[in-house]
Structure 1
């Protein structure tokens, strides 16, 4: 009982640490840039990260997945594959802050997808938050006021791909252990990335292989610390902390990659994050009300 008051602080710490891990991922991918094609870079990141799957092999074999579950895992893996390729492409062509801010759209697309495909309700307040988030995206893109690059288009579809994967993971998480969900994602994405990677394959230096292995390490650590954050505190506490990723990304882009500060991107990202936080809070309130009935 004495540890209970400290759990939100622990959750905030782990989520802030998660943000640092993911910003490290973006920094390395940005540093590599066009030296490795997007599909090949993504494939190498995943195949080098398979070493972290060793503890998950036994739970996957013991799960005895049904045909439906295998198909669902495959569909999730394919959606995630396309999203990862587009994310790697975007990282090489637009500022880190733009990538980070537009990635916040994923939870918004999740809300829309849950309403369209899973039959979940989208009450007026949550719908208003979705509209506000989309306005935040328009502030970042500023169509008509600046050229919208292929990298920005890629990020729009990246967020949609990640959202589709999340919706399928949400269904699977109720049926199999978390280790199986994580492990099957890595396996299917690696398989689906292979043909895309081989189609554009170029010689890769040992230095870039080392960097991509670090990407796998930081990404794995980030997903692990995120689960620690979720276990320590509710989403209403941890979700707003993810905004720090945009802060780190802006600082990193300005100080390391000489990208400068774009106030419109910061404003748009703030609006999107506020909308995501509101949706998270409303879902938490709805769950408490259902539990009280």
Structure 2
């Protein structure tokens, strides 16, 4: 008897993942289009304030429950780590090409894999180590230090990958105590609170249209995560993971057609190498039936 008959529908899973990649690219386009017209922390705060509105009914129930001190500490740690990552991501998205941000973002699962080995006692077999080395080669192809100029936005996105990965590890620990929906709702609350002082410090008047566009960012991000969850429910991660590479294709096309950013073949190549290594690790974990520590590439998106 099949426990979950919905989990063996690869075409449905691929279509859901395709929808997720498009939603995340719309997030990128809006933030990139808004650019530096609004301070980074303020933009991030408004985006998460919208998310707080979406989660308000759930939070009203969650905050009435009693949790251990460890859980509260993890709620705070995960939220602060995610807040730092979001600010760095917003900065990168407004200062470098969309395709560059998307490609570097694929390093998130690599950070989680290494962090899981160092902090959570997860093993690092030689196959995983090889995949990590390949992914780092992909990152070097993207950045090409000494050949191209490394912009502050590239450094910011590397930092975002590090902090998103650390936030995911905290979330992984939290799922041992509370449901995933509670983890996401509390993350939204803590990130909003953490960003508030920074946003107020550099607050500038913004138009209603900008507020609504940042609301659209929240909607597309939520829809992307929903579609990604449906994809994982419909098919194995090893089937849906390669589709994530299309997000880089969409990002490159959007950057080219909307913002005049000529696609960099080295960025596409490097991103492809990274996602190939992540896909291999995911496939390998499914083969040996381990509980995966490596998250799918967009799982750490905002």
TM bin (shorter chain): over 0.9
Counterpart in the other structure of 1:236? 238
Partner of 2:150, secondary structure, is coil
Counterpart in the other structure of 1:170? 172
Partner of 1:287, secondary structure, is coil
Instruction: Say what the alpha-carbon RMSD is for the aligned residues.
Output: 1.8
Counterpart in the other structure of 2:160? 158
Counterpart in the other structure of 1:7? 9
Q: Structure 1 residue aligned with 2:29, among 27, 30, 34?
A: 27
Q: TM-score, normalised by structure 2?
A: 0.92
Counterpart in the other structure of 2:189? 187
Cα gap change, 1:178 to 1:32, in 2 (>3 Å): same
Contact 1:140/1:265 (<8 A) preserved = yes
- Separation (CA, whole Å) in 2 of partners of 1:60 and 1:102: 35
Counterpart in the other structure of 1:272? 274
Q: Which moved more, 1:232-241 or 1:145-154?
A: 232-241
- Separation (CA, whole Å) in 2 of partners of 1:80 and 1:134: 23
Contact 1:63/1:180 (<8 A) preserved = no
Q: Structure 1 residue aligned with 2:142, among 140, 146, 158?
A: 140
Deviation at 1:6, TM superposition (A): 5.9
Counterpart in the other structure of 1:109? 111
Contact 2:6/2:234 (<8 A) preserved = no
- Number of equivalences: 290
Partner of 2:260, secondary structure, is coil
Q: Which has the higher helix share?
A: 1
Runs of 4+ in 1 over 2 A off after TM superposition: 3-6, 61-64
Contact 1:38/1:89 (<8 A) preserved = yes
Counterpart in the other structure of 2:300? none
Structure 2 unpaired stretches of 5+ = 292-302
Deviation at 1:286, TM superposition (A): 2.1
Is the counterpart of residue 254 in structure 1 residue 256 in structure 2? yes
Is the counterpart of residue 216 in structure 1 residue 218 in structure 2? yes
1:249-284 CA deviation, whole Å, 9 max, x = no partner? 011000111001100000000000001101111111
Q: TM-score, normalised by structure 1?
A: 0.95
Counterpart in the other structure of 1:207? 209
- Separation (CA, whole Å) in 2 of partners of 1:280 and 1:59: 35
Deviation at 1:63, TM superposition (A): 4.4
Structure 1 unpaired stretches of 5+ = none
- Separation (CA, whole Å) in 2 of partners of 1:4 and 1:38: 41
Counterpart in the other structure of 2:199? 197
